Amino acid sequence: MNTLDIHQILEYLPHRYPMLLVDRVLDYEVGKRITALKNVTINEPFFSGHYPHHPVMPGVLIIEALAQTAAVLSFLTMGSKADDKSVYYFVGIDAARFKRPVSPGDQLVMEVAITRSARGIWKYAAKATVDGKVAAEAELMCTVKAIAEPAGAA
């Protein structure tokens, strides 16, 4: 079983608090699939406003957590790590469905599989579950792009 702890994840993702949404990689197979975990806590900054009387993790952040999981798989597959010369971007989200709310105390298990990779575009089937029940699923498309140097930079 291939795992990554938070220190190793930080090498593959440029995200930091409060946008880092992957706590642990439970298993992965380079070029194929990855399973990761996000521990959802009441201390997340978005819960104070979404919704104070009934905290729910925003769906867009569940999709972002799935995309970050996909990014780790892509970097592992490419044999590279995140750096300050490139950015991992969304280029598409299709068939996104939200099946149940995600609340503080939940463990969000994210399963992502590469379905296609061509001309620098990666396509994935992604699913997030809590207690074995689907919370969200989507087809994601992402790419790695070099950051352009500002004019006049040496």
Give the active site residues.
50
Residue 103, C-beta contacts closer than 8 angstroms, at least 6 positions apart: 40, 55, 56, 57
What does the alpha-carbon distance between residue 18 and residue 44 come to, in Å, rounded to a whole number? 8
Which amino acid is present at 94? D
Paired strand residues for 70 = none
143, burial (CB in 10 Å: exposed 0-12, middle 13-18, buried 19+): middle
Q: Which of these, 144, 140, 81, 143, lies nearest to 115 by C-alpha position?
A: 140
Q: Strand, helix or coil at 149? A: coil
